[in-house]
Amino acid sequence: MIKITKKVNKAWVTFTLASDAGSTVSICGEWNDWEKEPMKIKKSGEFYITKVIKPDRSYAFGYLVNDGEWLTENELPKIPSPFNSNNSLLEL
């Protein structure tokens, strides 16, 4: 699930992934040159992270589960990656 709050020249984007995704989840995206950023765990068990990202752009990203499985966001469009998989496309 994605929640976006835009203000002038910043967008706060909260990414949430179901608790049954795995034991560890990181997010990787174009906004930080694909560096892994570990997601936190809510009391409900869901994984989440909030990023402040420049708006008026599109960003490819994905979730790295258990340091091996690549997942995309169900509610966003998919685009092909150079690794024979797909990335999610976040359009701000």
Distance between CA atoms of 37 and 23, rounded to whole angstroms?
15
Q: Is 75 helix (H, G, I), strand (E, B) or coil?
A: coil
Identify the H or E element spanning 80: strand 78-80
Q: What percent of the chain has pLDDT over 70?
A: 100
Question: What is the sign of the dihedral through the CA atoms of 44, 48, 74 and 10?
Answer: positive
pTM, full prediction: 0.91
Closest listed residue to residue 44, CA positions, set 10, 9, 8, 20? 20
pLDDT tens digits, 26-46? 999 999 999 999 999 999 899
Distance between CA atoms of 64 and 24, rounded to whole angstroms?
8
Domain ranges of the chain: 2-91
> What CATH code is assigned to 2-91?
2.60.40.10
